[in-house]
Structures are given as structure tokens and as C-alpha cells.
């Protein structure tokens, strides 16, 4: 084993350990460090027999790395990242590379890069998706920051990344500044929407049709063979089939219906407001998790507030197929919103984001990996300047084909009283986007009436104001 190690990892939780093991398995010696003794000990056990070292101090960690140092930080977003940077800086040299592999807010990455300007220390903010298993076997990796740092880490990241169906690594340079973490944030926003929509499909089939989880396992497994093929559909089928060993009941029925969040979906929704992008399906998925957190209130309300007395009376198999189509149409809209966010950020920050490449990075390794993403890649190959996925011939055709079922499913959900906020917001987004005229003319008249905010006319140029009351 070499005296000096090729790559450093700070933060030896499960994600950090797994990424370190992945790096070593692909031919790069590793030194790791963590401030928690328990994690150091656990890492020593997992790293034993490999070309890996666990340092007991930060000074030892830095001394064990070849120059220029390549250091991947896998620590919680926020202050912990700043703390690690502050502790490392005195021991770093010009040309050393720091990589933030956590879920940092892209604006924080931009701030940290600015703080390091003039030091010669390179900085890359890297989105990593795929969970614990992906970190070990091959994640999707989205690096952005100092372009000078990319050649230092490119061979490592592209070796450890997941490989797409064409064998290409799901890792490519995203762009300068906070581009990498921004793209990861949008990935997570789309993930929120995907999960919420699958949950609504499950809820509809269970409450409107009375299907059991065992029956839905067959349905989700079947859906995974077609255009909905994806990691999230695949694991949903497995979840439906899992029984609690103690009670024999479906495990999903024993899990409390309160969903947690780590903030990236909320960030994506906030950025949508800042950039003026109508990403309501992503936002409503965040609100749905917030609604789920009101468990005690919902239980109390269920005893007071009346719902619908209507019961579904149609053909169950036909309705299941309509739900599948509604899920696919809604999914198209949520991705369209995500890529509109990417386009708006690209215009705002001048990153020159490679939209087709971004879609290709998500084809494997990450949580939203899906067959569907190759269609998005194709769309941007056909038209790199595509303003919306909805305008691509493939996606426009898919929406036209599934629209009747989509509308029927939402109407039925309203009739029977099953909430489908993501399905509904996606359809509202589509209907708004395809409308040449919206009621904002009335809204603008109201603003001018009470606040003299002015308006533009359709038949002449210039800013107008009316004295609405004589």
C-alpha cells in the first residue's frame, strides 16, 4: 500500500463510508476522517484489508494525501460545511481541491467559492444522488464550481458513477459557480413530485377501488414494464408486497402517514418563486408533506368534516389504466416544470447548462432514474433551445393521448373525495400553459383599480391607467 493516499473523504457516516469504498474499489487509495470517534471506529472495521486509512486527526488526514489534495466533504449541509472548510484552510495549499458532496443550497456554494477566491484553493459543489446503495455501487454525480478542479476529479467521479444503458457514466461537468448543487436541488424537487404522484395513484386505487397492497404490487410491477419504468415505481411494487413479520399485515398499512423532508424540495419551490417559474406541482408536493404532518388535526377533522358519499361504480381495470395514464401525464408536467427552472437559472446566472446531458445523468444511479429520461435527452438533442418539454413532439403527443384519462381520473377523485393535489396541479399547469388567454386581464384591472398599478392594452402600445370610478 502507498504511503500517501490519492483521495480524502471527510464525513464517515454511511454515505461517506460507501463513497470511500466505491472510490477505493475503482483503483484510488483513500484516507478518511470524522470528528466522531464511533464513526472512525466503524470505518476502520469496514476499510480493513483495503488500500484505505482512517486518520485520527485532521492534521494526519492532510498529511496522508498526495498533492494536490482531493478532498470530498460528506457532511450535513449548512454550518457543518463551513466549519470543515474553516478547519481545513490553514493546512491547504494552492491547487488543492475541496468538494462538497452534500445537499448544500446552491447559494451557499456560490458564497463559499467567493470566499476562497484568491487563495488558489479550488472548490466544487457536487450533487450526489442514489442513497446509500448508490453511493456504494454507483450514484448519479452532478459537479459544478471551479472548472480548473474538474480535471482533478473527473477520472475518479466518472469511474465511481452509475453507468447509463449506453455504458456512459452518469457524471459530467454541469457548469461553474453553484450549478452542480442547483441541478441536484431540482432533481430533488422532481423527486418530491414523483413520490407524491405515485402516492396519489396508490391512494386512489386503495380508497376508490378497494384494492389491497398485494393486488397493487401486481399493478405497479406491470407499470414498471412500460413507459412508467423507473426506480420509484419498482420499489413501490416491492413495498406493496412487504408484510410485517409480526402481524402478517401489509407493512405499508402500519407506517404512520406523516412524511418528513430535508429541505431541498422547499428550496426548489422557493427558487421557483424567486425566478418567476410556475413550478406548482413541485411546490404542491412539498405542501402535501406539510399537510401529512398535521396528523392529529387531520384525525380530529375526520370526525367533524363531511366528505363525499359518492362511490366508484365503474370498471376497476379500466380505471387502473386511466390512473396509469394520469400518472404519466402528470409526470411529464412535473419534469417540464423542473427543466423550466433549470432554464430560468441558466438565464439568471449564465451557467450554460447542458439540459440534455443533465437528463442523461439521471438515467441511472439516482432516485428519479427512469426510462422516461432518455426521451428528455432526445428532446434536447432535437432542439437544444426547447422552451418547454410540453412543446416537444413526443411529449405533446403523450399528453394528447393521455389527457382524456387524466381528466377523468381527477374528476372521479373529486367525486369520491380522494385528494389528488399533484395530479390536479399538473393538469392546471398544462391547461394554463396551453391557454392563449388567461384571466390575468381581470387581475390586472383589479390591481389598477385599487392601486393604480397600470396595465397594457391589447390594441395599442404603452402603459395605461384608468379612473375606474367617476
Q: What CATH number did the domain enclosing 428 receive?
A: 1.10.1040.10
DSSP β-bridge partners for residue 287: none
**What's the pLDDT at 262?**
73
**What's the pLDDT at 2?**
52
116 and 75 belong to one structural domain: yes
Neighbours of 447 (CB within 10 A): 14
Run of H or E including 32: strand 30-33
CA 374/CA 300 separation, integer angstroms: 46
Domain contains 2: no
Q: What is the pLDDT of residues 59-98, one digit of tens each?
A: 999 999 999 999 999 999 999 999 999 999 999 999 999 9
Query: In the numeric block, which cell numbers belong to residue 383?
Result: 432542439
Domain contains 1: no
Q: Choose among 143, 151, 138: nearest CA to 127.
A: 143
347 and 454 belong to one structural domain: no
End residue of a domain, out of 130, 149, 177: 177
389 and 461 belong to one structural domain: no
**What's the pLDDT at 63?**
95
**469 exposure class (CB count in 10 Å sphere: 0-12, 13-18, 19+):** exposed
Domain contains 45: yes
**What's the pLDDT at 466?**
96
190 and 148 belong to one structural domain: no
Can the peptide bond before residue 117 be classed as cis, meaning omega within 30 degrees of 0?
no
446 and 399 belong to one structural domain: no
pLDDT at 432 over 80: yes
Q: What is the pLDDT of residues 44-53, one digit of tens each?
A: 999 999 999 9
229 and 361 belong to one structural domain: yes
Concatenated DSSP letters for 196-235?
A: HHHHHHHHHHHHTT---HHHHHHHHHHHTTTTT-BHHHHH
* Domains: count for the chain: 3
Active-site residue set: 184, 191
339 and 371 belong to one structural domain: yes
Specify whether the CB–CB gap between 147 and 176 falls below 8 A.
yes
Give the mean pLDDT of the chain: 95
pLDDT at 1 over 70: no
Mark 269-287 as b/e (b = at least 16 C-beta within 10 Å): bebbeeeebbbbbbbbbbb
List of residues 6+ apart from 448 with CB closer than 8 A: 454, 455, 464, 465, 466, 468
Where does residue 270 fall: left (phi above 0), alpha (psi -120 to 50 degrees), or beta otherwise?
alpha
Q: What is the pLDDT of residues 188-232, one digit of tens each?
A: 999 999 999 999 999 999 999 999 999 999 999 999 999 999 999
157 and 228 belong to one structural domain: no
Domain contains 143: yes
130 and 211 belong to one structural domain: no
pLDDT at 266 over 80: yes
228 and 366 belong to one structural domain: yes
Run of H or E including 238: helix 231-240
List of residues 6+ apart from 84 with CB closer than 8 A: 10, 11, 73, 75
101 and 195 belong to one structural domain: no
pLDDT at 294 over 50: yes
Domain contains 28: yes
Q: Choose among 122, 182, 135: nearest CA to 161.
A: 135
| Torsion angles phi and psi, residue 72, rounded to 5 | -100, 120
H-helix segments, 241-371: 264-275, 280-292, 295-302, 316-349, 355-361
Q: What is the pLDDT of residues 362-389, one digit of tens each?
A: 999 989 989 899 999 999 999 999 999 9
425 and 456 belong to one structural domain: no
Q: Which domain holds residue 466?
A: 438-470
Written in H, E and C, the secondary structure of 94-127 is: CCCEEEECCCCCHHHHHHHHHHCCCCCCEEEEEE
**151 exposure class (CB count in 10 Å sphere: 0-12, 13-18, 19+):** exposed
Q: What is the pLDDT of residues 435-460, one digit of tens each?
A: 999 999 999 999 999 999 999 999 99
Specify whether the CB–CB gap between 212 and 250 falls below 8 A.
yes
CATH code for position 17: 3.40.50.720
pLDDT at 261 over 90: no
Specify whether the CB–CB gap between 304 and 222 falls below 8 A.
no
CA 179/CA 196 separation, integer angstroms: 26
Question: Among residues of the chain, what percentage have pLDDT more than 90?
Answer: 95
Run of H or E including 130: none
Banded pLDDT at 3 (limits 50, 70, 90): confident
pLDDT at 177 over 50: yes
Specify whether the CB–CB gap between 317 and 374 falls below 8 A.
no
Domain contains 377: yes
Domain contains 450: yes
pLDDT at 470 over 80: no
**What's the pLDDT at 441?**
96
Q: What is the mean pLDDT of residues 301-311?
A: 94
CATH code for position 463: 1.20.5.320
Amino acid at each position: 500500500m502507498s504511503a500517501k493516499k490519492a483521495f480524502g473523504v471527510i464525513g464517515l457516516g454511511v454515505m461517506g463510508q460507501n463513497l470511500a469504498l466505491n472510490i477505493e474499489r475503482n483503483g484510488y487509495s483513500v484516507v478518511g476522517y470524522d470528528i466522531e470517534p464511533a464513526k472512525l471506529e466503524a470505518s476502520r472495521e469496514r476499510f480493513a484489508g483495503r488500500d484505505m486509512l482512517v486518520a485520527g486527526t485532521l492534521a494526519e488526514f492532510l498529511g496522508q494525501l498526495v498533492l494536490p489534495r482531493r478532498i470530498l466533504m460528506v457532511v450535513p449541509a449548512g454550518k457543518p460545511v463551513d466549519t470543515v472548510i474553516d478547519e481545513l484552510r490553514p493546512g491547504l495549499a494552492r491547487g488543492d481541491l475541496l468538494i462538497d458532496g452534500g445537499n448544500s443550497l446552491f447559494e451557499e456554494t456560490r458564497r463559499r467559492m467567493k470566499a476562497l477566491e484568491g487563495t488558489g484553493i479550488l472548490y466544487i459543489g457536487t450533487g450526489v444522488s442514489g442513497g446509500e446503495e448508490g453511493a456504494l455501487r454507483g450514484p448519479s454525480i452532478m459537479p459544478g464550481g471551479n472548472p480548473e478542479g474538474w480535471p482533478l476529479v473527473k477520472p475518479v467521479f466518472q469511474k465511481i458513477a452509475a453507468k447509463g444503458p449506453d455504458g456512459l457514466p452518469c457524471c459530467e461537468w454541469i457548469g461553474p459557480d453553484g450549478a452542480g448543487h442547483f441541478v441536484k436541488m431540482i432533481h430533488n424537487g422532481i423527486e418530491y413530485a414523483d413520490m407524491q404522484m405515485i402516492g396519489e395513484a396508490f391512494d386512489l386505487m386503495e380508497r376508490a377501488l378497494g384494492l389491497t397492497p398485494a393486488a397493487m404490487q401486481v399493478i405497479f410491477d406491470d407499470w414498471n414494464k412500460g413507459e412508467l419504468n423507473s426506480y420509484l415505481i419498482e420499489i413501490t411494487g416491492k413495498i406493496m408486497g412487504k408484510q410485517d413479520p409480526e402481524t402478517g399485515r401489509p407493512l405499508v398499512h402500519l407506517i404512520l402517514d406523516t412524511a418528513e423532508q430535508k429541505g431541498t424540495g422547499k428550496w426548489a419551490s422557493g427558487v421557483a418563486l424567486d425566478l418567476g417559474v410556475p413550478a406548482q406541482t413541485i411546490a404542491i408536493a412539498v405542501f402535501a408533506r406539510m399537510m401529512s404532518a398535521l396528523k392529529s388535526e387531520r384525525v380530529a377533522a375526520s370526525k367533524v368534516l363531511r366528505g363525499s358519499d359518492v362511490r366508484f361504480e365503474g370498471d376497476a381495470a379500466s380505471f387502473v389504466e386511466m390512473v396509469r395514464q394520469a400518472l404519466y401525464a402528470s409526470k411529464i408536467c412535473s419534469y417540464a416544470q423542473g427543466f423550466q427552472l433549470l432554464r430560468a437559472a441558466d438565464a439568471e446566472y449564465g451557467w450554460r447548462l447542458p439540459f440534455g446531458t443533465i437528463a442523461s445523468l439521471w438515467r441511472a444511479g439516482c432516485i428519479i432514474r427512469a426510462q422516461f429520461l432518455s426521451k428528455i435527452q432526445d428532446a434536447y438533442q432535437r432542439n437544444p433551445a426547447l422552451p418547454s418539454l410540453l412543446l416537444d413532439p413526443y411529449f405533446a403527443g403523450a399528453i394528447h393521448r393521455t389527457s382524456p384519462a387524466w381528466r377523468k381520473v381527477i374528476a372521479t377523485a373529486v367525486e369520491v373525495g380522494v385528494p389528488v393535489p399533484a395530479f390536479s396541479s399538473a393538469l392546471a399547469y398544462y391547461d394554463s400553459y396551453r391557454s392563449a388567454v388567461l384571466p390575468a386581464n381581470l387581475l390586472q384591472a383589479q390591481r389598477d383599480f385599487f392601486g393604480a398599478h397600470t396595465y397594457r392594452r391589447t390594441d395599442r402600445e404603452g402603459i395605461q391607467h384608468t379612473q375606474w370610478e367617476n
